[in-house]
C-alpha cells in the first residue's frame, strides 16, 4: 500500500471526521485502537498515534507511514522529538536514516535510528492550525 501525500491527507481527514461523529467529538477511541503491531508512540513524551503502517515492500525497502499527534506548547519543533519506535526487528533500517519530506508546503524530517527510535522535527514552514497538531508521516527507506 503506497499512498501519496494527498491520499494520506484525505484518509486522515475522513478517519477523523467519522471518528469525531461516531464518538461524540472525541478522538480517544481512534487513538486507543491505533495499530501498534510494528510501531509504538512515545507516550511518555505525550505523543499519540492515530494509525501506523510499517511494512516491507516487494523491492526490499520499507514503507513507514504514521499519523501522530502532539500539543504545540512545550516542544521546540525545530529540534528532533522522539515520536516513537519501530518494534519489529525485520523492519529496522540497517543504518540510521535521515529523510526529509514535504507536506502541503511544510518541510519535516524524520530520523530513524537503526535501533528503531524515530525522531521528527519541523525543517521549514509553519505547523498546521489547531492544537493539538496532527502530523502524517509517509516515507520509504
Please compute the mean of the pLDDT values over residues 10-17 and round it to a whole number: 50
Q: What is the pLDDT of residues 99-110, one digit of tens each?
A: 999 998 999 999
Number of domains in the chain: 1
Give DSSP secondary structure letters for 59-72: TS-EEEEEEEEE-S
Q: Give the whole-angstrom CA distance, residue 128 versus residue 109.
A: 16
80, 121 contact by CB (below 8 A) = yes
Q: What is the pLDDT of residues 33-76, one digit of tens each?
A: 566 789 999 989 989 998 899 999 999 899 999 999 988 777 88
pLDDT of 42: 94
pTM as predicted: 0.76
Q: Give the whole-angstrom CA distance, residue 40 versus residue 38.
A: 7
pLDDT of 17: 45
Q: What is the pLDDT of residues 79-131, one digit of tens each?
A: 999 999 999 999 999 999 999 999 989 999 999 999 999 999 999 998 877 77
Q: Which three cell numbers stand for residue 16?
A: 477523523
In sequence order, the β-bridge partners of residue 112 are 97, 118
Residue 28 belongs to domain spanning: 5-140
Amino acid at each position: 500500500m503506497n499512498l501519496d501525500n494527498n491520499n494520506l491527507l484525505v484518509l486522515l481527514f475522513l478517519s477523523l471526521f467519522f471518528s469525531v461523529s461516531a464518538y461524540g467529538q472525541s478522538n480517544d477511541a481512534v487513538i486507543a485502537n491505533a495499530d501498534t503491531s510494528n510501531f509504538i508512540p512515545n507516550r511518555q513524551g505525550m505523543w499519540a498515534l492515530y494509525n501506523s503502517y510499517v511494512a516491507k515492500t516487494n523491492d526490499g525497502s520499507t514503507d513507514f507511514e504514521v499519523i501522530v499527534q502532539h500539543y504545540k506548547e512545550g516542544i521546540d519543533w525545530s529540534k528532533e522529538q522522539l515520536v516513537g519506535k519501530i518494534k519489529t526487528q525485520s523492519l529496522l533500517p540497517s543504518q540510521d536514516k535521515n529523510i526529509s519530506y514535504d507536506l502541503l508546503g511544510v518541510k519535516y524530517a524524520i530520523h530513524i535510528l537503526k535501533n528503531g527510535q524515530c525522531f521528527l522535527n519541523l525543517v521549514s514552514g509553519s505547523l498546521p492550525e489547531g492544537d493539538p497538531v496532527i502530523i502524517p508521516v509517509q516515507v520509504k527507506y
